[in-house]
Amino acid sequence: MYNEKVVEHFCNPRNVGELLEADAIGENGSFKCGDTMKIYLKIKDDRIEDIRFQTYGCGAAIASSSMLTEMVKGLTIDDALKITNQDVADQLGGLPPLKLHCSNLAADALHNAIENFRNGKVHGESA
Ligand code: FES
Protein backbone atom coordinates (compact mmCIF):
# COMPACT_ATOMS: atom_id res chain seq x y z
CA MET A 1 0.00 0.00 0.00
CA TYR A 2 2.90 2.40 0.70
CA ASN A 3 5.74 2.92 -1.75
CA GLU A 4 9.39 2.35 -0.77
CA LYS A 5 10.15 6.02 -0.14
CA VAL A 6 7.22 6.38 2.26
CA VAL A 7 8.27 3.24 4.13
CA GLU A 8 11.88 4.47 4.31
CA HIS A 9 10.82 7.82 5.85
CA PHE A 10 8.42 6.05 8.20
CA CYS A 11 11.12 3.66 9.39
CA ASN A 12 13.85 6.34 9.60
CA PRO A 13 12.06 9.63 10.22
CA ARG A 14 14.19 12.76 9.99
CA ASN A 15 14.05 15.67 12.43
CA VAL A 16 11.86 14.02 15.06
CA GLY A 17 11.57 15.61 18.49
CA GLU A 18 11.33 18.96 20.17
CA LEU A 19 13.33 22.18 19.72
CA LEU A 20 13.69 23.55 23.23
CA GLU A 21 14.41 27.12 22.15
CA ALA A 22 11.96 27.21 19.24
CA ASP A 23 11.10 30.59 17.77
CA ALA A 24 7.72 29.28 16.70
CA ILE A 25 5.54 26.24 17.33
CA GLY A 26 2.63 25.17 15.15
CA GLU A 27 -0.06 22.63 15.90
CA ASN A 28 -2.66 20.84 13.90
CA GLY A 29 -5.12 18.02 14.36
CA SER A 30 -7.21 15.98 11.98
CA PHE A 31 -10.96 15.77 12.51
CA LYS A 32 -10.88 12.78 10.19
CA CYS A 33 -8.80 10.55 12.45
CA GLY A 34 -8.12 12.50 15.66
CA ASP A 35 -4.35 12.53 15.16
CA THR A 36 -2.22 15.53 16.08
CA MET A 37 1.00 17.18 14.98
CA LYS A 38 3.40 19.73 16.43
CA ILE A 39 6.09 21.53 14.41
CA TYR A 40 8.96 23.45 16.03
CA LEU A 41 10.94 26.08 14.11
CA LYS A 42 14.19 27.93 14.62
CA ILE A 43 14.07 30.98 12.35
CA LYS A 44 16.95 33.31 11.60
CA ASP A 45 16.76 36.25 9.18
CA ASP A 46 13.36 34.95 7.99
CA ARG A 47 14.89 31.61 7.07
CA ILE A 48 14.11 28.20 8.62
CA GLU A 49 17.34 27.29 10.32
CA ASP A 50 16.06 24.16 12.06
CA ILE A 51 12.84 22.19 12.30
CA ARG A 52 11.51 19.27 14.35
CA PHE A 53 8.19 17.48 14.57
CA GLN A 54 6.23 15.38 17.03
CA THR A 55 3.12 13.51 16.07
CA TYR A 56 0.57 10.98 17.22
CA GLY A 57 -0.17 10.35 13.55
CA CYS A 58 -0.04 7.21 11.45
CA GLY A 59 2.83 6.00 9.25
CA ALA A 60 1.80 8.29 6.40
CA ALA A 61 1.77 11.28 8.76
CA ILE A 62 5.24 10.39 10.07
CA ALA A 63 6.63 9.95 6.54
CA SER A 64 5.00 13.22 5.39
CA SER A 65 6.41 15.15 8.35
CA SER A 66 9.85 13.69 7.83
CA MET A 67 9.77 14.66 4.15
CA LEU A 68 8.39 18.12 4.90
CA THR A 69 11.18 18.89 7.36
CA GLU A 70 13.75 17.99 4.71
CA MET A 71 11.97 20.12 2.10
CA VAL A 72 11.74 23.32 4.15
CA LYS A 73 15.00 23.40 6.11
CA GLY A 74 16.97 26.39 4.80
CA LEU A 75 14.00 27.95 2.97
CA THR A 76 12.73 31.45 3.65
CA ILE A 77 9.44 31.47 5.51
CA ASP A 78 7.77 32.93 2.40
CA ASP A 79 8.91 29.97 0.32
CA ALA A 80 8.04 27.50 3.10
CA LEU A 81 4.48 28.86 3.13
CA LYS A 82 4.10 27.89 -0.52
CA ILE A 83 4.65 24.18 0.27
CA THR A 84 1.37 22.31 0.17
CA ASN A 85 0.39 18.88 1.40
CA GLN A 86 0.20 17.81 -2.24
CA ASP A 87 3.86 18.91 -2.73
CA VAL A 88 4.84 16.72 0.22
CA ALA A 89 2.85 13.75 -1.09
CA ASP A 90 4.41 14.25 -4.55
CA GLN A 91 7.93 14.29 -3.08
CA LEU A 92 7.11 10.99 -1.38
CA GLY A 93 6.14 9.52 -4.73
CA GLY A 94 2.45 9.58 -3.81
CA LEU A 95 0.28 8.39 -0.94
CA PRO A 96 -2.70 6.05 -1.10
CA PRO A 97 -5.90 8.15 -1.63
CA LEU A 98 -7.23 7.22 1.81
CA LYS A 99 -4.03 8.54 3.39
CA LEU A 100 -3.80 11.87 1.56
CA HIS A 101 -5.35 13.74 4.48
CA CYS A 102 -2.43 12.61 6.67
CA SER A 103 -0.05 14.85 4.75
CA ASN A 104 -2.22 17.86 5.71
CA LEU A 105 -1.14 17.52 9.31
CA ALA A 106 2.48 18.53 8.76
CA ALA A 107 1.95 21.20 6.09
CA ASP A 108 -0.83 22.86 8.08
CA ALA A 109 1.16 22.73 11.34
CA LEU A 110 4.10 24.35 9.53
CA HIS A 111 1.85 27.10 8.21
CA ASN A 112 0.43 27.58 11.71
CA ALA A 113 3.97 27.92 13.16
CA ILE A 114 4.88 30.57 10.57
CA GLU A 115 1.64 32.42 11.25
CA ASN A 116 2.43 32.44 14.99
CA PHE A 117 5.94 33.72 14.25
CA ARG A 118 4.55 36.51 12.08
CA ASN A 119 2.14 37.44 14.85
CA GLY A 120 5.08 37.77 17.24
CA LYS A 121 4.16 34.64 19.21
CA VAL A 122 5.88 31.33 19.80
CA HIS A 123 2.60 29.44 20.33
CA GLY A 124 -0.90 29.94 19.04
CA GLU A 125 -3.79 30.50 21.42
CA SER A 126 -4.35 26.83 22.21
CA ALA A 127 -0.74 26.01 23.25
FE1 FES B 1 -4.47 10.08 11.16
FE2 FES B 1 -2.98 9.33 9.14
S3 FES B 1 -4.76 8.35 9.87
S4 FES B 1 -2.72 11.04 10.38
Catalytic residue from among 19, 39, 102, 107: 102
Asked whether 9 and 62 are in contact (CB, 8 A), the reply is: yes
Residue 127's pLDDT band, with cuts at 50, 70 and 90, is very low
Domain boundaries, the chain: 4-118
> What pLDDT is recorded for position 126?
52
Tell me what pLDDT residue 100 has: 86
Task: Please state the pTM of the whole predicted model.
Answer: 0.93
11 carries an active-site annotation: no
The answer to whether 88 and 68 have CB atoms below 8 angstroms apart is yes
- For a ligand 1 pocket test, name from 101, 104, 108 the mutation site with the most ligand atoms within 8 angstroms of its C-beta: 101
Q: Tell me if residue 33 is catalytic.
A: yes
Other CB atoms within 10 Å distance of the CB of residue 44: 9
Residue 60 near ligand 1, beta carbon < 6 Å? yes
pLDDT in tens, 19-57: 999 999 999 998 888 999 999 999 999 999 999 999 999
Least confident of 53-67, 78-92, 113-127: 113-127
> DSSP 3-state helix, strand, coil percentages of the chain (rounded to 5)?
45, 20, 35
The pLDDT tens digits for 69-94 are 999 999 999 999 999 999 999 999 99
Which residue out of 16, 33, 81, 100 is catalytically annotated? Answer: 33
| Ligand 1 touching residue 30 (CB < 6 A) | yes
Q: Name the CATH architecture for the domain at 4-118.
A: Alpha-Beta Complex (3.90)
